[in-house]
Amino acid sequence: MVYKANEQRYDNMKVRRAGNSGLQLPALSFGTWHSFGDDANFQDSEKIMLAAFDRGIFSFDLANNYGPGSGAAERMFGQVYRRDLKPYRDELIITTKAGFHMWPGVYGNFSSKKTLVAALDRSLQRMGLDYVDIYYSHRFDPNTRLEETAEALDGLVKAGKALYIGISNYDGPQTAKMIELFKELHTPFVVNQSSYNMLNRDPENDGTLQTLADNHDGLVAYGPLAEGLLTDKYLNGIPDDIHLHFTNSFILDKGEAAAVKKLNQLNDLAQNRNQTLAQMATAWLLHDPTVTSVVTGASKVEHLEDNLKALDNLDFTADELAEIDRIVKD
């Protein structure tokens, strides 16, 4: 059966611009970090990706190392793209990244020119694309000059393999230096994708958000729910074997009881807003105009629907924002 997209797919989606660039993204982007690896069921993956597009989520976030199994998520997406989404290519924002472990040897990591060029060629082949819309350096490379990384990314735009450039997991000072280099090269840099949520305020604390705002660029937030902590799943306790992303590991530094107390206080505030904790966590990110999009994952349509409900109430009072800060920073 030939897929035909929902004709009302854009009726309810909020679209946000990355600073003063021409890049616009849906408030929610579809992430493929988990659940789209070699062991994933194709029909289930296809169903959720198409459900996302039918609801106005036209941005798909990938990376060379997403899977599990390097390249697996890109291969899965490529199958769905070739089979269903190719007629809609001009509507789609398809993004990928290179920098975390991708293949054996010294060039399968970080952000040298050889790594970035080779990785994008692999990505394009796996997905069946002529170009990606945003290509990211996935992480700062301490052993490679930033000039080399910036020039490599700029060259890939000039080669027609990427339309826009992003960086990911770069802190405030690193972001500022890259922006300076991109301006010298006239590279269409648009966003930094960073781990950011109500509990993890690193992009605020290290100057990333302010640097992006000052330069009229955007932030794409990943990890909005802190691996599920900002849901109702752990309100009665957090198991010892929970796997937190390295950017969120500090959350348990003061002990499980202190973290659970904060989660319940935040949940009470969310209920007063007629939202779930997860919906409030997503809405909180989007109250800042510098945040262009929030990357959310979903393996079931009902999870996708719950995520989208966050967009029904993005407004916060000054008192609500102050209370969230008080709870988190206590």
Give, for all 330 residues of the chain, the pLDDT tens digit.
Answer: 899 999 999 999 999 999 999 999 999 999 998 878 888 889 999 999 999 999 999 999 999 999 888 899 999 999 999 999 999 999 999 999 999 999 999 999 999 999 999 999 999 999 999 999 999 999 999 999 999 999 999 999 999 999 999 999 999 999 999 999 999 999 999 999 999 999 999 999 999 999 999 999 999 999 999 988 999 998 988 887 787 777 777 777 777 888 899 999 999 999 999 999 999 999 999 999 999 999 998 888 999 999 999 999 999 999 999 999 999 988
For residue 182, give the nearest of 21, 3, 13, 17 by alpha carbon: 21
Write the CA distances from 197 to 47, 144, 281, 295, integer angstroms: 28, 29, 7, 11
User: Angle CA(289)–CA(6)–CA(304) in degrees, nearest 5?
Assistant: 55
Token pair belonging to 233? 């799943």
Q: Cβ contacts of residue 66 below 8 Å, gap of 6+?
A: 32, 33, 36, 37, 72, 73, 74
